Amino acid sequence: MVSSRNSTWSGGFTGLPGAVAVSHLCVYDWPAADGVRGGTPHLHLTCSEAYVVTGGRGAVQTLTTSGYEVTPLAPGTVAWFTPGTIHRLVSEDGLRITVLMQNNGLPEAGDAVLTLPPEYLTDPATYAAATVIPADAPEAEQARVARARRDLALEGYRALRDAAGPEPLAAFHRAAAALVRPRIVEWRERWRRGAQAAAAATGDQLDRLERGDTSHLGDAAVRAEQPSAYGRFGMCGRLDVYKGAGATPPRAP
């Protein structure tokens, strides 16, 4: 994997193309109450995600205002979805995915709300108490918390999926937006330094080429890195993350 830090040289933005981020995901194989093995249903509020399936088989269950769908996942499949898509990854046979994330890995740095029952969505403190995995806890305890919050999110997810009419989903959208509102300033700065800077760099390079100025080509560089962390407990499974490629170790949730 080729990547570089989110810095700006004279040639412009030098992060991964388009300020995306990447992580490797092994989807949880813990069985849930419905007998399905997989991850924690959630949505993102400002970011799109893409799945590049690299091994195993499974599916992604999605819920939007258009309804409920199941998209099969097999090696070679590329599937993606936009903000507001509630998604639940299902592993049928060791599902492994490379995840591409908008906005320098913001989906793993806070832009996610789990589909907990409404009483857990009332305020950030209540939500955090039900979702935060203690970073300094033993691995077995981290796994217990990750599985417990997965099962709790499935309760809310099933209620949303089985609801009659659009209001329960709309209410969840409102609650999710209220939970993340205190962090919008932080997210805006991340976008400014990432996706906005990447787009501006392309515009600058086009202007230079139009003038016959090729000086930015002299600043070409190549970087590569290995994951900065392996096997972190994420929302959908165990994650290998790349710090320099824009992904940030998962935080609450």
Q: What is the per-residue DSSP string for 140-189?
A: HHHHHHHHHHHHHHHHHHHHHHH-SSSHHHHHHHHHHHHHHGGGHHHHHH
Tell me the H-state helices in 9-73.
none
65: helix, strand or coil: coil
11: helix, strand or coil: coil
Q: Is the pLDDT of residue 68 over 60?
A: yes
Report the alpha-carbon distance of residue 126 to residue 118 in Å, rounded. Answer: 11
Q: For residue 235, tell me if it sits in a domain.
A: yes
Q: For residue 116, tell me if it sits in a domain.
A: yes
Report the alpha-carbon distance of residue 112 to residue 202 in Å, rounded. Answer: 29
Q: For residue 252, tell me if it sits in a domain.
A: no
**pLDDT per residue as tens digits for the range 135-156:** 999 999 999 999 999 999 999 9
Q: For residue 196, tell me if it sits in a domain.
A: yes
Instruction: Record the tokens describing residue 43, joined without a space.
Output: 């949505």
pLDDT at 181: 96
Return the CATH number at 106.
Answer: 2.60.120.10
Report the alpha-carbon distance of residue 131 to residue 250 in Å, rounded. Answer: 12
Q: For residue 249, tell me if it sits in a domain.
A: no
**pLDDT per residue as tens digits for the range 83-103:** 999 999 999 999 999 999 999
Total domains in the chain come to 1
> If pLDDT is split at 50, 70 and 90, which confidence band does 246 have?
low
Report the alpha-carbon distance of residue 58 to residue 71 in Å, rounded. Answer: 9
Q: For residue 247, tell me if it sits in a domain.
A: no
Q: How far is CA 36 from the centre of its chain?
A: 21
Angle at 136 between CA 132 and CA 140, to 5 degrees: 80
Q: For residue 160, tell me if it sits in a domain.
A: yes
201: helix, strand or coil: helix
pLDDT at 72: 98
Q: For residue 161, tell me if it sits in a domain.
A: yes
Q: Is the pLDDT of residue 131 over 90?
A: yes
List the domain range (segments joined by +) for residue 203. 8-241
pLDDT at 104: 87
Which residues are 237's β-sheet partners? 27
